[in-house]
Each structure stands twice: as C-alpha cells, then as structure tokens.
Amino acid sequence: MARTPFKVEVLTPEGEVFNDEVEMVSTRTSVGSIGILANHQPLLAMLNPTELRLYKSESEVVRYAQGEGFLQMTGDRALVLVDEVFSVDKLDAADLRDRLKRAEDELASAEEDSEERRQAERDKRRLEAFLKLTESA
C-alpha cells in the first residue's frame, strides 16, 4: 500500500547528504525506535547512533549509518541533523574494529568524569552501532 510521501533532508556539518521525498523514516531516538510517516505530529528528538532507513517505497530503502544528532518533524517535512552519516554499503568492518579498539583503549586510560572519557564513550557507542550494521548487511 502506497503511503503519502513527504520531504526529508539529512544534513551533516559537511553538508547535505539526502534531500528527497520518502514514505517513511525509521531511526532510533534516545528513548527508542521511531517510524515517521507523513503528517506526523511536530517532533524534536535526540538521535542515537544506529541505522537510518529512508523508505522511498516499500521496495526501495536508502540505508545510512547515522551518528548522534537530532530529528525535527514539522508539517510535511523532516530534518535529520547528524554529526556524521555513511552509506551502510560503504562501511568497512575491519576499519571499524580498529577504531573501536582505539576507542576502548582511550576509554580505559581516560580519567573518570573527564571530557576525554565522555568522548571515548560516545565513540565506542557509535562504532559498536556501525559495526553491528556491517554484520547485518
């Protein structure tokens, strides 16, 4: 069954990654998974690292690995602002494992309650989410 399309923009600090109409957005917020359809109530949500799925139709899904960020839904438009986003097809599992090991080492050596520790925790959480996507692809 076709759904009503709506405009979605995905932006990173480097610029626009996606700008097109979709039937549904699926992602994970700080309180759980969410699916957004056209005419959704206004929403502002914090996003956790996960897979961002943009359903252009039931059979055409654009998949990204998204970092932390925000989702804003207003009227007939969704805006996804994330610190980084990668096509799931372009993720390199070996590189992600190496980066995850470095993040774990940084976390182990960081002082308690330091900014370095918080950054290492965020990096570890993001890299674990991205690595999980390579294993399910």
> How many helices (DSSP H) and strands (DSSP E) are in the chain?
2, 10
**pLDDT above 80: residue 137:** no
Q: Is the pLDDT of residue 3 over 90?
A: no
Predicted pLDDT of residue 75: 84
Q: Write the pLDDT tens digit of every residue in 15-65.
A: 999 999 999 999 999 999 999 999 999 999 999 999 999 999 989 999 999
Rounded Cα distance between 97 and 136, Å, is 15
Question: How far is it, in rounded angstroms, from Cα 8 to Cα 73?
Answer: 9
Look at residue 136 and tell me whether its pLDDT is greater than 80.
no
Q: Using an 8 Å Cβ cutoff, are 24 and 8 in contact?
A: no
Model's pTM, two decimal places?
0.87
Predicted pLDDT at 58: 87
Tokens 């399910």 sit on residue: 136
Distance (Å) of CA 125 to CA 2, 107, 129: 35, 11, 6
Fold for 6-86, please state it. Answer: ATP Synthase; domain 1 (2.60.15)
pLDDT tens digits, residue range 25-36?
A: 999 999 999 999
pLDDT band at residue 107 using 50, 70 and 90 as cut-offs:
confident
The whole-chain average pLDDT of the chain stands at 93
* Domain locations along the chain: 6-86, 92-136
Q: Say if residue 2's pLDDT is above 80.
A: no
